[in-house]
Amino acid sequence: MADNVIDLSAERLRRKDHMVRGTAADGMIRAIAITARDTVQKAHKNHNTSPLVSAALGRLMMAGQMMGAMFKHPDELITLEMRGDGPVGGITVTANNRGQVKGSANHPNVWLPLNELGKLDVGAGIGRGTLSVVRDIPGSVPYSSQTELVTGEVGDDLAAYFSLSDQIPTSVGVGVLVDTDTSIRQAGGFILQLMPDYEYYLIDELEHNLQGITSVTNMLEDGMDPNAILRHLLRGLDYQELEVMPAEFHCGCNKERAGRAVLALGEAELRDMVDKGETAEVHCHFCGTTHYLAPDELRELLDHATDGAKG
Per residue in 18-34, pLDDT (tens digit) is 999 999 999 999 999 99
pLDDT digits (tens, 9 = 90+) for 57-113: 999 999 999 999 998 887 899 999 999 999 999 999 999 999 999 999 999 999 999
Predicted local confidence at residue 4, as pLDDT: 53
Which tops the pLDDT comparison, 42 or 295? 42
Taking the C-alpha atoms of residue 94 and residue 76, their distance in angstroms, rounded to an integer, is 11
Residue 41 has pLDDT above 50, yes or no: yes
Q: Are 156 and 150 in contact (CB under 8 A)?
A: yes
Reduced to 3 states (helix: H, G, I; strand: E, B; else coil), residue 18 is: strand
pTM: 0.87
For the chain, helix (H) and strand (E) counts, in that order, are: 11, 13
Q: Are 55 and 114 in contact (CB under 8 A)?
A: no
Structure confidence at residue 11 as a pLDDT band (50, 70, 90): low
Residue range 302-311: average pLDDT? 65
pLDDT digits (tens, 9 = 90+) for 148-198: 999 999 999 999 999 998 788 999 999 999 999 999 999 999 999 999 889
Residue 1 has pLDDT above 80, yes or no: no
* Residues 6+ away with beta carbon under 8 Å from 149: 82, 84, 126, 127, 128, 129, 130, 131, 157
Indicate the DSSP class of residue 166. I
Q: Are strands 29-35 and 18-24 parallel, antiparallel or unpaired?
A: antiparallel
Which tops the pLDDT comparison, 66 or 297? 66
Give me the domains of the chain, ranges plus CATH numbers.
Answer: 8-249 (3.55.30.10), 255-310 (3.90.1280.10)
Angle at 260 (CA atoms; ends 257, 262), nearest 5 degrees? 110
Q: Are strands 280-283 and 100-105 parallel, antiparallel or unpaired?
A: unpaired
pLDDT digits (tens, 9 = 90+) for 130-158: 999 999 988 788 889 999 999 999 999 99
Starting at the edge strand found earlier in the chain, the sheet holding 170-178 runs 170-178, 184-194, 29-35, 18-24, 240-246
Which tops the pLDDT comparison, 122 or 294? 122
Beta partners for 244? 20
Taking the C-alpha atoms of residue 236 and residue 200, their distance in angstroms, rounded to an integer, is 16
